Structure formats: structure tokens, C-alpha cells
Amino acid sequence: MIKVLQRKISTLFIILLGALWLTGIAALNWINFKNQMNGLCTAVRSEIRKTGWHKFLETGSGGEDFEDIEYCILQIRDDGSFWFLSDHFPSMENSELINYASKVPSYNESKRLFWKVTYLYKFSKKYGSYLILISSKEALPDVLSFMTFSGVAAVVGIFFLIMAARKLSGWLIHPVEESMESEKKFMTNASHELKTPLTVIRTNIELLSDEIGDNKHLQYIEMETERMVTLINNMLTLVRLDAHYAEQTFQQFRLDESLLNVIYPMESVAYEKKIHMNVQIDEPMWFIGNENQLQSLMSILLDNAISYTPEDGRIEISACIRSRKLRLIVSNTGEPIPARQQEKLFERFYRQDEARESASNHLGLGLSIAKSIVVKHHGKIGVKSTGRKNVFHVTLPCAKK
């Protein structure tokens, strides 16, 4: 759980900081492009002033200073159409130049930037209105150079952001991790400490039963003691499953035989409640995992199904391997589980019906243990209700040999 939380926080930091970083890079590139284009316009205007605007417009040429610059001069007519006075723009067809000219905003509107061209306006009482389109080739090398540099900076920045996000998320999660570790140690120590007095109580119950015979009060004490023992064992199981340092012993085994070894002894319990069981398990079915944990998973799901299936109800169990995934399904007839409670079923100490759970000796830890086992095997577990049937489904990936 800690790793999942750290991963989420780290991802959030990367997205937020990465978005800010990339937005900043994009903004700098836009500003640089705008400055380069404006600088080109300023340079061209300065050269035209040296030649003289009237001479430039009359001859349509800027002389030697314009030999390396592609440009064209368009006269703007009263109807808004354009007339070529001069065309020194060999890299573009006239139609394309006219297309750009038609997109240029009017003189009193804000300037618009184009990738291939920039422009200047000139108004003269003698000659009228003119539009000079200038190729951006002179400015593009600097623009592209800056874009390349900023691209490298963006990649390097993202790399450092990822590293920083991991460090920062680890620093933020550390107090929570320490708190949870302390809680786990407390649960482990408390459980071990409680085992000794419970063992003494059980021994004394047996001695008293031998001396005074059957006694309902002793039976009540024994029943509650067994509930406490079950609770402590479940708590210890959860602590062991949650421990990130605990070693997982995975080995190849016959899963079908292991599951049937759990199912067959519980058939008698189902028979006493007049519950019909249908078992469909592929044979042979080899699987790599922790055999004891998967048997516990089967036991929890089947015990849960038996507990909540009414008399003359039905339980169906199926297990198979398809597309390198183990699919285990345990379904039972009975009261459907509300959709809003289905996710909560796998939370610790969650009980759907307090009165019914107490009567069935369920402590709200079984399905939580089942989920922890599934997570340890990198799988998924869920529940859905269709009609008057509740279906628990487990999917586990098959590890390579």
C-alpha cells in the first residue's frame, strides 16, 4: 500500500511539475520566435530606410543589401485585392503568397506570426498602401537552434523532475511508513502477548470441563476464546502479508489438487446446510505461486459462500487457466450484495451486516486476507451480483518457469 501511495504522489508531482516545465519551455520558444521575427522586420525596415521608401517602392528592389532576403511587394487596392509590384520570392508560388497576404491582419490589429513569412505595412499618400512579405529563412536557423537546445533541456529537466519527484514522495511518505511499521509491530507484539493468556484460558476450560462436566457458561467462554484465537491468527496473517520485507516462496505445484484438498472437507459442511455444490476444476493444472496462501484464498472464499448461502441454495466453483491467467470463480445464491458495498467488502474489519456477521463468527478480516494474497500474486479480485447470485472472481497471472 505504501508503494502504491508513493507511486501516486510521485506521478502527481511529475505531471504537475512536468506540465509547468514544458509550459515554460514552450513559452520561451514562442517568445524567441516572436523576437526573431520582429528582429527580422526591424532589420529589413532599417535597410529600406537606408535605400529610401520611395525609391524602394518605385524600383521594387532594395539593392545589394537584399540579395540574401526573399521578399515581395504587394499593393493593396481599395477593394482589398493585391497587386504584385515586385516578386523576389522564388521559394513560393504567387498563389501561396496571396494566401498569406489575405491572412495578414489589418494595420491597426495586433501582429500575427507565421512560420514561413513575416510582413511589413507601408502607407504613402503618393503611392497608397503596401504590404511587404518577407521570408523567415534568415531567422529560422536561430529559432531552430533554440528549439533544439530547449528540447534537450526539456528531456534533461523531465529526467531530473522524475528523480526529484521520487525523492520528494519518499520523503513525504516516510513518516506514514514509519507509523504503519510501528502499527504492524504493535499488532504483532500484542498478538503474541495475547496468545499466552488465551492458551492458559483454554487449558483451564478443559480442566474445569473434566471436573464439573458440561456447563453452558464454560461453553460460552470457550466459544469466545476461539473467536479471539481466530482474530489473533488473522491479524498475524495480515501483518505477514503486508510486510514488504517478507520473502515470498513461490514454487510450481498442482493447483487443482491443492484446491480440491480444501473443497472436499468443506462439502460436509455444505451438505449439513442442504447446499448443493458444483465443482469444475481443470486437471491437471500446474501453477507457480505460494501453495499455502492459495489454499487459504480458496478456504476463505468457500467459507464465505457457505456462510451466506441459504438452505437449498447453490455454490458453484470453477478454476481454469486461459491465456496464461488463472481464473478462479466462486459464486453462491443468496441475498445480492449492494453495488456500493462491493468494494468495501475487501476492507479490514468491514462487515456488511453486523448482526449476521456476529452470528456467523465472521470478524471482517477474511476477504481482506484474500485480497492481500491476490495482491502478493500480482492479481485482481472482485465481486459482482447478478440477480440473486453473488460471484467472486479472481484473476492471477501465470509466472514463467
Q: Which numeric CATH code is attached to 251-397?
A: 3.30.565.10
- The 10s digit of each residue's pLDDT in 228-279 is 777 677 666 766 666 654 556 788 999 999 999 999 888 888 888 899 999 9
Mean pLDDT over the full length of the chain: 80
Q: Please tell me whether residue 91 adopts helix, strand or coil conformation.
A: coil
Q: Which residues contact 102 (CB under 8 A, 6 or more apart)?
A: 82
Give CA separation, 54 vs 51, 67, 129, 131, in Å: 9, 19, 12, 14
Euclidean distance between CA atoms 286 and 108, whole angstroms = 79
- Range with top average pLDDT, 49-53, 175-179, 249-253: 249-253
For range 147-159, the mean pLDDT:
89
- The 10s digit of each residue's pLDDT in 11-40 is 888 888 888 888 999 999 888 888 888 888
- Looking at residue 393, its pLDDT comes to 94
- Looking at residue 343, its pLDDT comes to 77
- Looking at residue 357, its pLDDT comes to 47
Beta-sheet pairing, 286-289 with 117-124? unpaired
Domain boundaries along the sequence of the chain = 2-142, 251-397
Best CA proximity match to 183, nearest among 227, 239, 128: 239
Euclidean distance between CA atoms 329 and 327, whole angstroms = 7
The answer to whether residue 179 scores a pLDDT higher than 80 is: no
The model's confidence at residue 372, banded by pLDDT at 50, 70 and 90, is: confident
The model's confidence at residue 63, banded by pLDDT at 50, 70 and 90, is: low
- Looking at residue 215, its pLDDT comes to 77
For range 312-330, the mean pLDDT:
92
- In contact, 306 and 269? CB cutoff 8 Å: yes
H/E stretch holding 74 reads: strand 71-76
- Looking at residue 115, its pLDDT comes to 78
Strand order in the sheet with 389-397: 276-281, 314-322, 325-333, 389-397, 380-386
For range 136-142, the mean pLDDT:
82
The model's confidence at residue 356, banded by pLDDT at 50, 70 and 90, is: very low
- Looking at residue 358, its pLDDT comes to 47
- In contact, 55 and 73? CB cutoff 8 Å: no
Euclidean distance between CA atoms 333 and 313, whole angstroms = 6
Best CA proximity match to 300, nearest among 280, 340, 330: 330
Euclidean distance between CA atoms 54 and 382, whole angstroms = 82
pTM higher than the cut 0.85: no
Q: Please tell me whether residue 277 adopts helix, strand or coil conformation.
A: strand
- The 10s digit of each residue's pLDDT in 194-237 is 667 777 777 877 888 878 877 777 777 777 777 777 767 766 67
- In contact, 134 and 73? CB cutoff 8 Å: no
- In contact, 181 and 245? CB cutoff 8 Å: no
- The 10s digit of each residue's pLDDT in 323-355 is 889 999 999 998 888 888 887 888 766 665 544
Percentage above 90 pLDDT, the chain: 15
Q: Hey, what long-range contacts does 59-66 have (CB within 8 A, 24 or more apart)? A: 60/85, 60/86, 61/86, 61/88
